[in-house]
Amino acid sequence: MLLNENINAPEFVGLTNWLNLKSGKSELKLSDLRGNAVLVDFWTYTCINCIRTLPFITSWYEKYKDQGFVVVGVHTPEFEFEKKSKNVTSAVKRFGINYPVAQDNNYATWNSYANHYWPAEYLIDTQGKIRRIHFGEGEYDKTEMTIQLLLKRTGKRVDNGLICLPDQTPRLHLSPETYLGSERMAYYFPGGNVRNGTDEFDLTEYPERDSFSLGGRWTITEDRATAKEGSVLTYNFYAEKVFLVMHPTGNKVAKIEVFLDNDRVAKTDWGKDVKGGVATINSDRLYNLIDLKGAAENHILKLVVAESEVELFAFTFG
């Protein structure tokens, strides 16, 4: 279960805007945490995989924090707007995170750990050695048992019971994460990709499975697709839940009408961010548009920008 003891955990570097520190502290150093078992969690607040791990991480922290267990959240942004401190602060409150979190906007600590994934958890023992690494979701029981083992090795008496929460790790082959910026766009129909620039697009109502189409006026840049009012997107997906990272332009509230198989989405299939078949885009975050509530199915999603402009970054599925 444990890695060998010859992997030193790198020190934190380049971290800024620390949150949830004790009074009088302005930063944390890993070296200051010697004698504790430490979980370093690389995350970013619009990542659905990260979001699904947070109930476990926050629960572990609350359960073991008085026995020498520390969690440090290293928020490393995927998108430019995730660098904003106010957005990270809001997310920390929204997800009920009480452990220390710092921003790694320049990827300094990310690179120091040679990390490549969101989320990524590094469990570090009391001597500063990395003893377990896990990328992505799942294996929550193994991670918690490792936490318990590291604490027991310090002489702590630890309850062997495990946190019991729903494991939302997808078990089926769902539609892939789909980026709408040109740099990582791969599922546009037809052709896979679109060059940068502002163009009028001809919509394909029924694109191939796991692909999307655009209609109306769109501006494509490296990391996003900006939709003008009246623009349309269709996506042929297979999943239970559909999520989309979005940002309202110019500090204006945008509204998007949501359709499923050409009908306005029924109330039973609304994602938590849809009301009356409309998603209101008023902040930079991940929006849940569709929730089929227990069944992964194949459908055509259609989004119509009904008010203002909106920037779309990436689809994820659950």
**Any idea which residue has 């001809």 for tokens?**
202
Element (H, E) at 49: helix 48-64
Q: Do residues 135 and 259 share a domain?
A: no
Q: Do residues 312 and 260 share a domain?
A: yes
**Any idea which residue has 């689809």 for tokens?**
315
Q: Do residues 108 and 231 share a domain?
A: no
Bridge-based pairing state of the strands 263-264 and 254-260 = antiparallel
Residue 18's identity, in one-letter code, is: W
Could you say which DSSP state residue 65 is in? G
pLDDT values of the chain reduced to their tens digit, one per residue, 318 residues: 566 777 999 999 999 999 999 988 999 999 999 999 999 999 999 999 999 999 999 999 999 999 999 999 999 999 999 999 999 999 999 999 999 999 999 999 999 999 999 999 999 999 999 999 999 999 999 999 999 999 999 999 898 999 999 998 888 899 999 999 999 999 999 999 999 999 999 999 999 999 999 999 999 999 999 999 999 999 999 999 999 999 999 878 999 999 999 999 999 999 999 999 999 999 999 999 999 998 899 999 999 999 899 999 999 999
Is residue 10 one of the residues assigned to a domain?
Answer: no
Would you list the DSSP string of 96-152?
A: T--S-EEE-TT-HHHHHTT---SSEEEEE-TTSBEEEEEESS--HHHHHHHHHHHHH
Is residue 229 one of the residues assigned to a domain?
Answer: yes
Q: Do residues 192 and 310 share a domain?
A: yes
Distance in angstroms (rounded) separating the CA atoms of residues 61 and 151: 13
**59 and 141 in contact (C-beta within 8 Å)?**
no
Q: Do residues 142 and 196 share a domain?
A: no
Q: Do residues 207 and 142 share a domain?
A: no
**202 and 215 in contact (C-beta within 8 Å)?**
yes
**269 and 216 in contact (C-beta within 8 Å)?**
no
Could you say which DSSP state residue 293 is in? S
Is residue 168 one of the residues assigned to a domain?
Answer: no
My answer on whether omega of the bond before 10 falls inside 30° of 0, hence cis, is no
Q: Do residues 190 and 311 share a domain?
A: yes
**204 and 300 in contact (C-beta within 8 Å)?**
no
> Looking at residue 172, what is its pLDDT?
84
Q: Do residues 108 and 37 share a domain?
A: yes
pTM of the model: 0.92
Is residue 157 one of the residues assigned to a domain?
Answer: no
> Looking at residue 43, what is its pLDDT?
98
Q: What is the CATH number of the domain that holds 92?
A: 3.40.30.10
Going by C-alpha positions, the residue among 276, 278, 274, 317 that lies closest to residue 299 is 317
Q: Do residues 22 and 132 share a domain?
A: yes
Is residue 127 one of the residues assigned to a domain?
Answer: yes
Q: Do residues 183 and 308 share a domain?
A: yes
Backbone phi and psi for residue 73, each to the nearest 5 degrees, phi listed first: -90, 120
Contacts with 235 (C-beta within 8 Å, 6 or more apart), sequence order = 175, 178, 207, 211, 212, 213, 242, 300, 301, 315
> Looking at residue 294, what is its pLDDT?
87
Going by C-alpha positions, the residue among 297, 303, 240, 311 that lies closest to residue 271 is 240
Is residue 198 one of the residues assigned to a domain?
Answer: yes
Q: Do residues 269 and 188 share a domain?
A: yes
Q: How many domains does the chain have?
A: 2
Is residue 289 one of the residues assigned to a domain?
Answer: yes
Mean pLDDT of the chain: 96
Write out the residue range of the structural domain in which residue 63 sits: 16-152
Is residue 225 one of the residues assigned to a domain?
Answer: yes
Q: Do residues 266 and 310 share a domain?
A: yes
Distance in angstroms (rounded) separating the CA atoms of residues 34 and 124: 9
Terminal alpha carbon distance of the chain: 29
Q: What is the CATH number of the domain that holds 184?
A: 2.60.120.260
- Count of beta carbons in the 10 Å neighbourhood of residue 67: 17
